[in-house]
Amino acid sequence: MSNLKSKVAIVTGAASGIGLACARRYAAEGAIVVGIDRNLSADWSSVESSAPHSRFHQLDVTDGAAQQAAIDATAREFGRIDILLTAAGVGDGGPVGMLDEATWDRVIDINLKGTFLSVKAVLETMTTQRSGSIITIASVEGLNGTEGGSAYNASKGGVVLLSKNIAMDYGRMGIRCNAICPGFIDTPLLHEVMDAMPEFKADVVRQTKVGRFGRPEEIAGAAYFLASDDASYVTGHALVVDGGYTAGHSHGIVQLMGLV
């Protein structure tokens, strides 16, 4: 695979989890990485050690003006923006009848509107240079519903279709856009949601065909591929990285047959 030497990458949600893992991978492959997150990152030094010119901006992705200012500053400083990866997100929800309006608004604003604002902020630079790779972090829950996941599922389903629309609208300008749909990845967000529901947590592992949660670095591998020249003919795609979770239902039959 080609590396990302001297490419300029914006990563939202870069303080932890999938976003931080992707920032680290891009830096290791030679990119200049600009992180965006509403929280400060105690681990951002690991990115800077690989990419000394990297930057970090503490801001909320729902603040369009702040994002635009940070991204415009990046374009002025480095002369271009080659990659945008949108990993900022929250997990919350519940059955519609039990979900308050404020929770709905918060999840949609961060997960879907925040993605929209991030993409909007890079498009002027990318269209001018006639190139760019936009990678959104959606979810398998944006492809198939999950009980009680109304707001989260809706937000991530929106990210998938938004990504396809961006690919259609900007492909002839040299801009690719793809969504990554992770399964259940071992991140602070997963533990925040699942640790209070041990039976659900155990069932998710059982339904994941490789028998474990994913690692953030495994999503970063897919994000590297989509950012690289090896993916030059890949756009408008929702890439599932889920350990087989969505391959089908498991009912224990192969265990009864002695296969595992």
The catalytic site residues sit at: 152
Instruction: State how far the Cα of 83 lies from the Cα of 236, in Å rounded to an integer.
Output: 15
Q: Is residue 54 within 8 Å of 35, Cβ to Cβ?
A: yes
* DSSP 8-state secondary structure symbol assigned to residue 56: E
**Secondary element (H or E) of residue 132:** strand 132-137
Q: Is residue 81 within 8 Å of 132, Cβ to Cβ?
A: yes
Residues 6+ apart with CB under 8 A from 55: 33, 34, 35, 74
**Tokens matching residue 201:** 């947590």
Taking the alpha carbons of 26, 29, 31, 33 in that order, is the dihedral positive or negative?
positive
* DSSP 8-state secondary structure symbol assigned to residue 137: E
Which neighbouring-strand residues pair with 135?
85, 178
Nearest to 11 by CA among 51, 169, 156: 51
